[in-house]
Amino acid sequence: MPESPVAIGLIGAGIMGERLLRAITEQPPGLLRAGGIWDPSPQAMARIAAAFPMVPAAADAAALIDRSDCVYIASPPASHLGHARAAIAAGKAVFCEKPLAVDVAQARDFVAEAGGRGAVNFPFASSPAIATLRGWIESGAVGAAPRLEISVAFAKWPRSWQVDAAGWLDGPAEGGFTREVVSHFLFLARRCFGALHGLEAQATFSEPGRSERAIAARLMAGEVPVTLTGSVGTTSKDDHNIWQLEGDAGAVRLYDWSHAERRQPDGSWRRADVALPQDQARPLALKRQLEGVVRLVRGEPHHLATLEEALDVQEIVEAILKSGRPG
């Protein structure tokens, strides 16, 4: 007998919640379905009801968890662990936005408690561009003695499409580009090369009451040295980023989220023939992420970011931020 579709319930009806909900509704109905959605904001729930009238609205988080096989948590970070613990206690799987928490010690405790019933939404785990990049690396395009440079820059923070969530996204307690963006590129380094360690960092909080405006760090991913920089107000782009790996045989990079590029002998960069702009690459990655969620729920091996990987990233992110705070 075929297995029943996996019911994914969503906590949080903001940008990320709506994005994943749309992806769920676009998948084959026999594989998964939207079990429901809940957000404490009546306005957010009204917007979702208008856009997705077929998706049940839950009365509260407990009701949402009860009707789900897996709970996707896309609420602000300080609430992640409370919802995740409730879902795990109810015997449900958890698919959480990063970070797991804003308190590293609490995140460590949760990872120890949760076992293999959780994963974190780092879409690079399913990115077509990353598959291309890793294929190049494995074929020897970079060679020996690799070193990694990560740079991110923003015209403003939060980015233009996030201004409605600026209340927490630009606060030092939960927000900032290091948690929101840099974490993705640290996850990629961790997934490719191994555990993150040996951090030396400096974060700059130049605007009182707001999140960081610059970071600079050095660390290791396994045996690969990593240089990391990030800043606000240093580009005209909404969001600009480069993840570049260089060795004795050549260099490859990920450019602005979705473009895998390889350096040519003349120093120019050639984009992969299969490269897609981010708005086309994202649905493909989300589809594969959801396939991983189904495997997670069914207790099968999956490629999603594990809780242990997410915790490793969070440890580094919070240490970077702590380097710029007094005391």
Q: What is the pLDDT along the chain (327 residues), one digit of tens a residue?
A: 458 999 999 999 999 999 999 999 999 888 999 999 999 999 999 999 999 999 999 999 999 999 999 999 999 999 999 999 999 999 999 999 999 998 999 999 999 999 889 999 999 999 999 999 999 999 999 999 999 999 999 999 999 999 989 999 999 999 999 999 999 999 999 999 999 999 999 999 999 999 999 999 999 999 999 999 999 999 999 999 999 999 999 999 999 999 999 999 999 999 999 888 888 999 999 999 999 999 999 999 999 999 999 999 999 999 999 999 764
Using CA atoms, how far apart are residues 27 and 284, in angstroms rounded to an integer? Answer: 11
pLDDT of residue 247: 98
pLDDT of residue 2: 57
**H helix or E strand, kind and range, residue 70:** strand 70-73
Contact yes or no for 67/33 (Cβ under 8 A): no
Alpha helices by DSSP H, listed for 90-197, are: 104-114, 128-138, 166-169, 177, 183-193
- 3-state secondary structure (DSSP) of residue 247: coil
Question: Does domain 6-121+283-306 sit in CATH 3.40.50.150?
Answer: no
Structure-block tokens of residue 188: 């990629």
Cα dihedral across residues 258, 127, 165, 81: positive or negative: negative
Torsions phi, psi of 260, nearest 5?
-80, 130
Residues of the chain with CATH 3.40.50.720: 6-121+283-306
Structure-block tokens of residue 205: 């909080």
Using CA atoms, how far apart are residues 122 and 189, in angstroms rounded to an integer? Answer: 12
Question: Does domain 125-276+312-322 sit in CATH 3.30.360.10?
Answer: yes
Residues of the chain with CATH 3.30.360.10: 125-276+312-322
The pTM (predicted TM-score) of the whole model is 0.96
State which amino acid sits at residue 67: R
Question: What is the 8-class DSSP label of residue 174?
Answer: T
Residues in the chain: 327
Place of tokens 């923003």: 154
Torsions phi, psi of 310, nearest 5?
-65, -40
> Residue 28, preceding bond cis, omega within 30 degrees?
no
